[in-house]
Structure 1
Amino acid sequence: MTTAATVSDPLLAPLPEPQQYLIDIVADAVIATRAWPVFQYVEAKMDDAGFDANAVMSSMPVISRGQLAYSLIRRTSMLSPDTRIELTVAGMAHAPMLGPTVEMFLAVLAELRSRRVTAGYDPLRVIEVVVSGPQLVSELGLADHPHASLLPSILQGEPSTWHGAGHSDGNSWEHQPSTWLRRFANVAGVDDYLARIRAFVMPDLPAMEPFVASPLSLAAAFDFLDVVWRLEFKERLVTLPSAERLTKLAFDANTAEEFDSRLSGLGEMLKGLRVPGNPDDGVLVRLDAFLTGHLSSEGIARVRVGLKKLQLVTRIRNAAQHAGAATSAAKALPAFGLTYPVTDFSAAWRTVQAHAVEALEAIRDEVSSRSRIVV
């Protein structure tokens, strides 16, 4: 199970009751029949529980860009009574009873990539790599797996394998491993698998320096976040370690000592956040855990981007005070578009300051967006 200290893909976050109920209906049907249920069946079960199947399916968390969308259920533009409702690997991860089916898919994924890489290629002609599905299932010892017959549809529904999905007539099927499989080498589990999908569906943009409108922007970001937090949770979030440290956040940094001082002030502000949870956990871990229970999966995904930036700030600060942390800082600086070692301390501080403001504003926006709060 994912813990608060473990960053997990938003698609694996605990689901609201209606979404989990729908997943369970499909999973139970698969266990009972070894086939995907039709929409009429799923809709009737959801109706009986007082849920709108269409609305629930539309509310599922999703990874998307343009026309590409990957969710817990294989998405289709039109639903008719006989449409098969198929879970994706992310969806099956929410049904423990389908754990062996997920493991079967990951084993097949690894083997397809291996066969793509080790095929006997010829430098003078194109070699068509075609894998016989039944033969593959037999060689992997999956012939007796209760859901081996679902493999063609699973492969066709996953971004990692849909490019190679081939002919299937129910008894035999083929797959042509595509070059896309290079993105899924040595997948370490469902979380890692979804991270690979997210990486090419929603790639990180090159680091850019956000614009800080005023030297007071960082102090204002803490202030505005505290106001929103008090309105939503009836408690203060921000405490001031000292007026001096807060004031220093507005100053420039022209030397290594001043850069260290600014980072220390920012670090003290973050450490002073009053977040519920285990005091032994870091404040950013507690913030992640607390907001996970209050925000939608999309909201917490955006918050975690901000928390990651704030975590990188602490790594840079630690490097300035502990020689052994220099390697960590060297890895953190490129995320802000900076290089190690820092030579232009003024520009570096403005960049770190701007990213911190952006992170705090993201947290503030999601906390204030009550329409996205899960209740």
Structure 2
Amino acid sequence: MTEQARDHIDPLNAPLPADQQALLQIIGDAVLAVGTWPIYQYVQAKLDDLDYDIDVVFGRLPVLANGYAPARRDRTGHEQELVKLTIAGMAHLPAMASTVDMFLRVVRELAEQRVKAVYDPTKVITVDVPGRQLIDTLGLTGEPLVDLLPELLQGEPSTWIGARGTNDDGWFHQPSTFIRRFRTVNDVNDYLSRMRNWLAPAAPAAIPQPTSPLGLVTAFDYLDVVWRLRFGRKLVHVPSTERAAKLVFEVTSSDEFTDRLSALGEMFKALDVPGTGAGPFDRLRSHLPNHLPDEAMVRVTAALDLLQKVTHLRNAGQHVGAAGKAAQALPAFGLSYPITNYQEAWWAVQAHVISALDTLREEVQATIADA
């Protein structure tokens, strides 16, 4: 795990307000004292003593997905219903650190046995892991809450998909393939983060929208000004006012998207770069290393590669055989193949091209004082 990942605290593992921490403490103290989960009436009474409303406290608990939270209840409304902690809840109680560690060790072992099982191409293989074997193999006999292990496995999303049951030898667990996600889990924060990525993956990043319809044209203008200051000659030559004007228009269809890409391609073709080469980007790759430091060329090369991909998108609209390269180029703009929303696709292309042009301008501008 990277240092950055270690520094990230999952929201379920972040410090809780006093009332929520009190709820977890009451449940944890009770289960450690008697070995079973406390009933609703008991927890409610203890919270009443602290002037906390149990329904309010439960309602404010952080929730991941499928109702998974630090504590849970069956919501039967009966005073004898059990109130339980999840692994996320136990992680907030130092006294339950060994129980959390026990569970994570069991999860790793179940995942390992699922992975290492010998499978048959013609029939389904069931992986049965006896509870007694787990406890003996991992040396868990002395754990205070080891008897709750079957219930913990049933209550956690990482293991509740697997089948479970009892036989003459006691309880057993049949880990499902989903548990592979937790095979190398390090600690409770890693466990919660993996579970979050599985149950509630982050939404795709929003397609960036240029701050102004003139953003693309302005980026060309700014680059041209800096280029003239640095090299004493124009870089940007507008091939056609009518074609350049199309860059500021919205897109609502495939044809309009192709038309905007064609106009953008003509702007690229008209770039006046010294030297020889098949196209402006090849000439820029040859010209700029002679005038920019190596560290600047790292950013510049990435920017030129992205601008080159715009031509792949444009060619797909003009040549039947170019669709493959276009499909490969789309992820660079945060897009996937096939394009279904051409307005957002044009926004994405504009935003990435503006960023690439700004990169070229910044790196060239940084050398003006040295010229």
- TM-score for both structures, normalised by structure 2: 0.58
Shift in CA distance, 324/211, structure 1 to aligned 2, threshold 3 Å: closer
Residue identity matched to 1:254: F
SS at match of 2:71: coil
| Cα separation, 2, equivalents of 1:326 and 1:158 | 48
The equivalent of 2:35 in structure 1 is 34
What count of residue pairs does the alignment treat as equivalent? 250
Q: Do structure 1's residue 16 and structure 2's residue 17 form an aligned pair?
A: yes
Shift in CA distance, 113/16, structure 1 to aligned 2, threshold 3 Å: same
The equivalent of 2:72 in structure 1 is 74
SS at match of 1:69: coil
SS at match of 1:175: strand
The equivalent of 2:82 in structure 1 is 84
Q: Do structure 1's residue 140 and structure 2's residue 146 form an aligned pair?
A: no
Tell me the CA shift for residue 74 of structure 1.
Answer: 2.9
The equivalent of 2:236 in structure 1 is none
Q: Check whether the contact 2:129–2:172 (CA below 8 A) recurs between aligned residues.
A: yes
The equivalent of 1:120 in structure 2 is 118
| Cα separation, 2, equivalents of 1:183 and 1:18 | 33
Residue identity matched to 1:126: V
Tell me the CA shift for residue 140 of structure 1.
Answer: 1.0
| Cα separation, 1, equivalents of 2:301 and 2:9 | 25
The equivalent of 1:186 in structure 2 is 184
Q: Which has the larger radius of gyration?
A: 2
The equivalent of 1:107 in structure 2 is 105
| Cα separation, 1, equivalents of 2:56 and 2:302 | 45
The equivalent of 1:348 in structure 2 is 352
| Cα separation, 1, equivalents of 2:31 and 2:108 | 24
Tell me the CA shift for residue 335 of structure 1.
Answer: 9.1
Structure 1, unaligned stretches of length 5 or more? Answer: 217-248, 262-319, 353-375
The equivalent of 2:7 in structure 1 is 6
SS at match of 1:74: strand
Shift in CA distance, 250/122, structure 1 to aligned 2, threshold 3 Å: closer
Tell me the CA shift for residue 24 of structure 1.
Answer: 0.6
| Cα separation, 2, equivalents of 1:323 and 1:187 | 39
The equivalent of 2:26 in structure 1 is 25
Q: Deviations over 1:201-232 (max 9, x none)?
A: 1123344414456469xxxxxxxxxxxxxxxx
Tell me the CA shift for residue 351 of structure 1.
Answer: 7.8
- TM-score for both structures, normalised by structure 1: 0.58
% identity of equivalent residues: 44
The equivalent of 2:309 in structure 1 is none
| Cα separation, 2, equivalents of 1:135 and 1:94 | 29
Q: Check whether the contact 2:216–2:353 (CA below 8 A) recurs between aligned residues.
A: no
SS at match of 2:84: coil
Q: Deviations over 1:252-288 (max 9, x none)?
A: 4238958x99xxxxxxxxxxxxxxxxxxxxxxxxxxx
| Cα separation, 1, equivalents of 2:89 and 2:136 | 26
Shift in CA distance, 80/345, structure 1 to aligned 2, threshold 3 Å: closer
Equivalences for residues 185-264 of structure 1 within 5 A: 185-212=183-210, 214=212, 252-254=218-220
The equivalent of 1:61 in structure 2 is 62
Q: Check whether the contact 1:74–1:157 (CA below 8 A) recurs between aligned residues.
A: no
The equivalent of 1:368 in structure 2 is none
Q: Do structure 1's residue 337 and structure 2's residue 334 form an aligned pair?
A: yes
SS at match of 2:121: coil
Structure 2, unaligned stretches of length 5 or more? Answer: 228-293, 306-329, 337-347, 357-371
| Cα separation, 2, equivalents of 1:155 and 1:351 | 49
The equivalent of 1:235 in structure 2 is none
Residue identity matched to 2:85: L
Shift in CA distance, 212/99, structure 1 to aligned 2, threshold 3 Å: same
Q: Which structure ranks higher in relative contact order (CA pairs < 8 Å, sequence separation ≥ 6)? A: 1
Q: Which moved more, 1:181-190 or 1:168-177?
A: 168-177
Shift in CA distance, 256/147, structure 1 to aligned 2, threshold 3 Å: farther
Equivalences for residues 152-163 of structure 1 within 5 A: 152-163=150-161
RMSD of aligned Cα (Å): 3.9
Residue identity matched to 2:115: V
Q: Check whether the contact 2:39–2:80 (CA below 8 A) recurs between aligned residues.
A: yes
| Cα separation, 2, equivalents of 1:158 and 1:190 | 13
Tell me the CA shift for residue 60 of structure 1.
Answer: 0.1
The equivalent of 2:369 in structure 1 is none
Q: Check whether the contact 2:333–2:349 (CA below 8 A) recurs between aligned residues.
A: no
| Cα separation, 2, equivalents of 1:121 and 1:255 | 63
| Cα separation, 2, equivalents of 1:328 and 1:34 | 60
Residue identity matched to 1:184: F
Q: Check whether the contact 1:210–1:351 (CA below 8 A) recurs between aligned residues.
A: no
The equivalent of 1:366 in structure 2 is none
Q: Check whether the contact 2:91–2:97 (CA below 8 A) recurs between aligned residues.
A: yes
Shift in CA distance, 338/101, structure 1 to aligned 2, threshold 3 Å: same
